[in-house]
Amino acid sequence: MSILGKKNFFERLSDSHLTREAPRIEATNNGMPSVVISNKEELDDIWMSEIDSGSISSENGSDSVTCHISTPMTQEQLWSKEEVEIALSNLPGGEAALSLIPTLQNDTLQKALEEFQCLTLNEIMDCNHRKITLPTFANGFMRKALLDSENGAAAAATPGQLLAGWPDTCLLISCWLGHVEIAKALLDKDAPVSTSDCDGRTPLHLAACATSVKLVEELLKHGADPCKWDLGKKCTPLHCAAAASCVATVKSLIKSGANVDAGLSGKSPLHYAVLNNAGDCVEALLQAGACPNNPQVYTETPLHVATSLGNVRCTKLLLNHGADVRVQLGIARSTPLHLAAEEGSVECTKLLLNAGAAWEAKNSRGQTAMHLAALAQSIETLDVLINAGAKVNEEDDDGRTPLHAAVAKALRSGELVKTLIQAGALVNKADKFGYTPLHIAALNESSPTVMLLLSKGADMTARTKGGITALNFIIRRTPDVLPLFVARFDQAISLHDHELGDVDCELRLDFRPLVPGGRGETDLMLCLVEVGQGHVLKHPLCESFLYLKWLRIRKFFLLSLMFHSIFVALFTGYVGATYLWHVKWLSNVLLWPVLGFTCMLAGKEFFQIAHGIYCYAKRWENWLQWSVIMASGIILIPSAYTWQHHVAALGVLLVWIELMIVVGRFPMFGIYVQMFTQVSINFFKFLAAYICLIVGFSLGFSVLHKNYKSFADPLVSLLKTMIMMSGELEFEDVFFDEKAPLQYPGTAHLMLLTFVILVTVILTNLMVGLAVSDIQELRRCAGLDRLVRRAELVAHLENMLFSKLLDRAPAWSIIQACRRGALLLHPPYHCALHIRPNDPREKRLPRDLIRATYRLVSERKTRRTTYRGSVPPLLRNANAMDSSHTRLSRMYSNESNQQQLNELAAELKRCSYNISTRLDSLTNKVENIAKDLDMPPN
C-alpha cells in the first residue's frame, strides 16, 4: 500500500496483494493438460479525501499511507489451445485434417492406414513449400484463394489421400492431438520431421505439449532436433515438456541432447517447470545440470517463481542445487524472501531463512519481508521472521513500520497487532507524514483494531503533519469507538475501600485514561474540544482532573497577571509623565523599566511564533499583544512628536484591554470577560449589516443641516449619527439654533423622525435584545464553557512549557522545575486520587464534584445488581435451564433462598448461552474446513 493508493483527500492508501493458489492440472478436450493458476487481487482503500495532499503524499505527491507490494508475477502459458489450432487450420488442408484425424479410431484408422500405405507422399497434389510469385498488394488475396482451393481439395479427399497429399500438415496435427499411429505411419514414409507451422512450431514442439512420450521418442528416432526454437525464439521442445509437467518427456529430451539451459537469459525450461509446480520435472532438470539462477541482473529466477507461488518442494530443490537467495527482481528489487512473505508462505520463508536469506533486505520502497508479511495478514510468517531476529520497528522509505502495514487490512489485524506489539513494536510510531497505526486503523473504519490499539496505549492526540489528530479520524470514520472509550472513564472511578454508605468509604479516581502518552497532560481534552466533543469534559473524571490541574498551574497565571499588572502600571506612569504631566525626571526613570518589560513581552511572543506560527496567527489576543509592543516602542522614542500623542492614547487603551484579557483567564472572572468579548463581536457584525443605513442618514443630515457644526464635515456627521443611536439627538440645538437657522424644514423633520423610528428605536432595541440573548446563552452554557476555557488555557501553557525548543534545558534549570510543577501525574506510581466522599473534611475536590463522582459509582453498582437479578431476554426460552430452576425451587421454599436461587439460575443460563454460542461457532468452522477439504465431517 504503496501502503496506499486512491486519489482523493488523501489520495488514499491502497495496495494490491496477489493471492496465489497451487497450480492445478485440468484436462482439455484433446486430452492435453493445461495449468491453471488462480490469481486474486485485493485493493485496500485506506485514505479518505479531505486532507491536504501536501500532508500525506507518497509516491506521486498524494498517494498512499500503507505499505506497497510490488506487482506480482502471473503465469505465462506457452501457447493457448486456440492459438495453436488457428495456426494449424491455416496450413494447407489444415481444416480438413483437424476435423478428420480425431475421428480416425479402430477400424476407420486401419482402413485409412492401409489406403495410405498404397499411396506415395504428395500423390494428390504437390503442395509442399509452394512458391507463388504475385504482386505484393495481391499476396494476401491470392494466398487465401490458394488455401481455400487446397482446403476444398483436402475436404474431398479420402483419409488415406489426405495423409498422402498433405503429410506435413497431418504430421503436425497428429502430433498436436497425440495420435501416435498416424504420426508413426507418416514418419515411416519419410514425412519431413523438421516441418513447422507458420509460427515455427515443429512436430516435436507439439508432441511435447501433448505429453506423448511415444511420439517424442518416435520423432527423435527419425532425427527431430530437440534444441529447435520456434520462430519467436520463445521455446524449445524442452520448454514445452516442462510447461506440460511431463517428466518422462523431459527425461527423453534431455537424453537426446536437449539444452537444459536454453533461454537462460529469459525463461529457461526450469522456469516453466517451477511455474507449473512440476516438482519431478524440476528435479530432473536440476539433476541434468540446469542452472537455477539467471545470469541477467534484476530478472526473474526460478526461485522467485517458486516462492511467489508458495511452492515448497520446488523451493527446496532449487535451494539444494545452489539457487541464490540474494537475487533481486525487477525495478521493485524484490528478493525471494519478499515474495514468500507477500504470499504468506511459512515453509518457504523458513527454507529461505535457513539458506541464508537476509531478513533486513529491502525492496525499492525500503520494505522488508516483515512489511509484506504484515500486509499479507500472515501471522505465521511474522512469527517465523521475528524468531529469526527481524526487527519489528524497521522503517520503509516512508517511515512506516510493519505495524502500519498490519492495520491496513481488517481481516486479521487484531492478531497481527498483538503479535507485533508483544515483539516490541512501537504503537505510536509515526511515518514521515505523521500517520500512526491508529490513524490508519481509524481510516480503515476498523473499530476492533482501533479499540485494540487504544488498549495498548495508542495516542489519540497524535497529529499528522497536516495537524489532524487520530481522534478526528475516529470521530469521522469509527464513531462507535468513542462511547466505548468514554466508558473507560466510568471504569476509572471505582470503589477502593469499604462500602458506599460507610463514613470511611474511599473512591479511587484513576486519571491514566486521560493521559494517552503525549507531551502534555491535557492534550486529549483539547482534542475533544477541537472535534466537537467538549461535552465529554463534564464527566466527573475529566472535571476533577481539570480542577486539580488548574490548582497545579494557576501559579503560572498569577505570575503572568503580576507581570502584566506591573507592565501596565509602568506604561501608564510613563505615558502620564511624558505626554500628560510633562515630568521629565519621572519619564527618564520609567523609560528603562518600560523598555525592559516591552522586550520581555516581545521575546515571549517570538517564542510562541517559533512554537507554531499558524496557530499563533489565529488567536486575536496575539495581535493585541503586538499592537501594545509596537505602541510601546513608538512612544519610547526620546524626541516627542505630535503624532506620538495619538499612539500614546491608543497604547494606554490597548494595554488596559490586554490586562482585562489576562484577568479574564481566571475562572471567577472568565465568564464576564467572555460575555464582553462575545457581545462585542456580535455588535460589530450587527453594525456591519446595517452600516449602509447609518451612512445614508449621516449624508442626509449633512445636506439638510450643513450650517450646524456637527454635520458640516461628512466624516464627523457619520460619527455624530452613530452617537445619535444612543438617544443623544440634540433636537433643540439643531432645530432652534438662532445662529444656524434651519434651512429645509419639513424634510429635515421627516428625516429625523424616520431616524428615530428606524435607528434609535428599532436598531438600538434589536441590538440590546441580541446582547441579552447572547448573555443568557453564555450563562446557560457557563459550566461547559468554563471547562472548555480551562482546558484550552492549561493546554496552551503546557504547549509552551513542553515545547521542543526547551528540551535542551539543563535538568537543574528553572524550565525543568516549571515542567515538574505543571505535571499532575507522575507515572507509574502517582496516577490516581483517593477521596472519601462521606468525610466532611474532604476538601481536595469541590463538593459538587465529589457528589457527582459518588453518584456515578452508586448508579453503576445499582445497574450491576439489577442486571444480576434479572434474566436476559435471550435466555428466557432456555427450557432446560427453566426445568432445572423449577426442580431447584421445590427444594427451597423460604424467600431468602429463593432470591439466591434466582440469581444462580440467571447466571447458569447466561453461561449456558455463551457456551452454546461458542460451540455453534466452532462447529461451523469445522464444517467449513471439512467442505474445503472435501471430507465428510465426523
CB atoms near residue 727 (< 10 Å): 10
Please identify which residue in the block is written with the cell numbers 514468500: 340
Report how far residue 398's alpha carbon sits from residue 67's, in angstroms, rounded to the nearest whole number.
Answer: 9
Most confident listed range (366-375, 677-686, 782-791): 366-375
pLDDT, position 866: 64
pLDDT, position 354: 92
Report how far residue 431's alpha carbon sits from residue 464's, in angstroms, rounded to the nearest whole number.
Answer: 9
- Going by C-alpha positions, the residue among 823, 869, 742, 786 that lies closest to residue 514 is 823
pLDDT, position 895: 42
Report how far residue 347's alpha carbon sits from residue 317's, in angstroms, rounded to the nearest whole number.
Answer: 13
Report how far residue 792's alpha carbon sits from residue 667's, in angstroms, rounded to the nearest whole number.
Answer: 12
pLDDT, position 799: 76
Summarised one tens digit per residue, pLDDT across range 400-426 is 999 999 998 777 778 889 999 999 999
pLDDT, position 603: 86
pLDDT band at 805 (very low <50, low <70, confident <90, very high): confident
Residue with the larger pLDDT of the pair 657 and 53: 657
User: In angstroms, what CA-CA distances link 679 with 39, 107, 623, 685, 836?
Assistant: 66, 109, 20, 10, 42
Work out the average pLDDT over 167-172.
88
Percent residues over pLDDT 90 in the chain: 15
Average pLDDT of the residues of the chain:
78
Using CB atoms within 10 Å of the CB of residue 156, give its burial: 0 to 12 exposed, 13 to 18 middle, 19+ buried. exposed
For residue 104, tell me if it sits in a domain: yes
User: Which domain-ending residue is among 728, 759, 780?
Assistant: 780
pLDDT, position 95: 85
- Print the domain residue range for 157: 80-124+148-203
For residue 490, how far is the Cα from the chain centroid? 30
Most confident listed range (15-19, 327-331, 518-522, 929-933): 327-331
Q: Is the pLDDT of residue 385 over 60?
A: yes
Summarised one tens digit per residue, pLDDT across range 875-924 is 444 444 444 444 433 333 344 455 556 556 656 766 665 676 667 667 66
User: Which domain-ending residue is among 175, 203, 231?
Assistant: 203
pLDDT, position 347: 92
pLDDT, position 898: 53
Most confident listed range (163-172, 343-352, 582-591): 343-352
Q: What share of the chain is helix, strand, coil (3-state, %, to 5)?
A: 60, 5, 35
* Type of residue found at 443: L
Percent residues over pLDDT 70 in the chain: 80
Work out the average pLDDT over 543-569.
87
* Alpha helices by DSSP H, 166-287: 167-177, 180-188, 203-209, 213-221, 237-243, 247-255, 269-275, 279-287
Residue with the larger pLDDT of the pair 254 and 636: 254
For residue 171, tell me if it sits in a domain: yes
Work out the average pLDDT over 487-492.
87
pLDDT, position 254: 92
pLDDT, position 782: 63
CB atoms near residue 784 (< 10 Å): 14
Per DSSP, the residues of 665-686 read TSHHHHHHHHHHHHHHHHHHHH
How many separate domains does the chain show? 3
For residue 132, tell me if it sits in a domain: no
Q: Is 344 helix (H, G, I), strand (E, B) or coil?
A: coil
- Going by C-alpha positions, the residue among 360, 346, 366 that lies closest to residue 392 is 360
pLDDT, position 1: 36
Work out the average pLDDT over 540-568.
87
Rounding to the nearest 10 degrees, give the CA dihedral for residues 679, 685, 686, 687. Answer: 110
Q: Is the pLDDT of residue 29 over 70?
A: no
Q: Is the pLDDT of residue 337 over 90?
A: yes
Summarised one tens digit per residue, pLDDT across range 918-937 is 676 676 667 667 655 554 44
User: In angstroms, what CA-CA distances link 832 with 502, 514, 798?
Assistant: 21, 11, 20
Q: Is the pLDDT of residue 735 over 70?
A: yes
For residue 763, tell me if it sits in a domain: yes
β-partners of residue 210 are none
For residue 932, how far is the Cα from the chain centroid? 33
Work out the average pLDDT over 689-717.
84
Which region, left, alpha or beta, applies to residue 335 given φ > 0 means left and ψ of -120 to 50 means alpha?
Answer: beta
Neighbour-count burial for 849-868, b at 16+ CB within 10 Å, e otherwise? bbebbbebbeeeeeeeeeee
What crossing angle do the helices spanning 481-492 and 540-575 adopt, rounded to 10°? 90
Residue with the larger pLDDT of the pair 654 and 146: 654
For residue 577, tell me if it sits in a domain: no
Same domain flag for 769 and 884: no
Q: Is the pLDDT of residue 498 over 50?
A: yes
Report how far residue 767's alpha carbon sits from residue 897's, in angstroms, rounded to the nearest whole number.
Answer: 71
- Going by C-alpha positions, the residue among 533, 522, 540 that lies closest to residue 792 is 522
For residue 470, what is its C-alpha cell? 487520530
Q: Is the pLDDT of residue 18 over 50?
A: no
pLDDT, position 3: 34
Instruction: Evaluate the omega torsion of the peptide bond into residue 828 and state whether it is cis, within 30 degrees of 0.
Output: yes
Work out the average pLDDT over 648-659.
89
With a CB cutoff of 8 Å and minimum separation 6, the contacts of 884 are: 905, 908
Report how far residue 347's alpha carbon sits from residue 315's, in angstroms, rounded to the nearest whole number.
Answer: 9
Most confident listed range (6-15, 51-60, 107-116, 361-370): 361-370
For residue 741, tell me if it sits in a domain: yes
Neighbour-count burial for 90-101, b at 16+ CB within 10 Å, e otherwise? bbbbbbbbbebb
Q: Is the pLDDT of residue 329 over 70?
A: yes
Summarised one tens digit per residue, pLDDT across range 750-802 is 888 888 888 888 888 888 887 777 777 766 766 677 788 788 888 878 777 77
pLDDT, position 796: 77
Q: Is the pLDDT of residue 41 over 50?
A: no
Q: Is the pLDDT of residue 8 over 60?
A: no
Same domain flag for 198 and 84: yes
Neighbour-count burial for 42-60, b at 16+ CB within 10 Å, e otherwise? eebbbbbeebebebbbbee
Residue with the larger pLDDT of the pair 240 and 10: 240
Summarised one tens digit per residue, pLDDT across range 607-625 is 888 777 777 777 778 888 8
Residue with the larger pLDDT of the pair 573 and 136: 573
pLDDT band at 70 (very low <50, low <70, confident <90, very high): very low
pLDDT, position 114: 80
Rounding to the nearest 10 degrees, give the CA dihedral for residues 180, 182, 183, 186. Answer: 150
Q: Is the pLDDT of residue 492 over 70?
A: yes
Residue with the larger pLDDT of the pair 856 and 677: 856
CB atoms near residue 263 (< 10 Å): 19
Q: Is the pLDDT of residue 667 over 90?
A: no
Residue with the larger pLDDT of the pair 55 and 492: 492
For residue 526, what is its C-alpha cell? 483539547
Q: Using an 8 Å Cβ cutoff, are 693 and 758 in contact? A: yes
* Alpha helices by DSSP H, 321-401: 336-343, 346-354, 369-375, 379-387
For residue 766, tell me if it sits in a domain: yes
β-partners of residue 509 are 493, 833
Per DSSP, the residues of 844-865 read SS-HHHHHHHHHHHHHHHHHHH
For residue 109, what is its C-alpha cell? 484408422
Work out the average pLDDT over 479-504.
84
Q: Is 289 helix (H, G, I), strand (E, B) or coil?
A: coil
Fill in the DSSP letter of residue 73: P
| Number of residues that this document lists for the chain | 938
Report how far residue 333's alpha carbon sits from residue 362's, in angstroms, rounded to the nearest whole number.
Answer: 8
Q: Is 898 helix (H, G, I), strand (E, B) or coil?
A: helix
pLDDT, position 238: 92
For residue 140, tell me if it sits in a domain: no
User: Which domain-ending residue is among 183, 203, 223?
Assistant: 203
Summarised one tens digit per residue, pLDDT across range 808-865 is 777 667 777 777 777 887 776 678 888 888 888 888 888 888 888 888 888 887 876 6
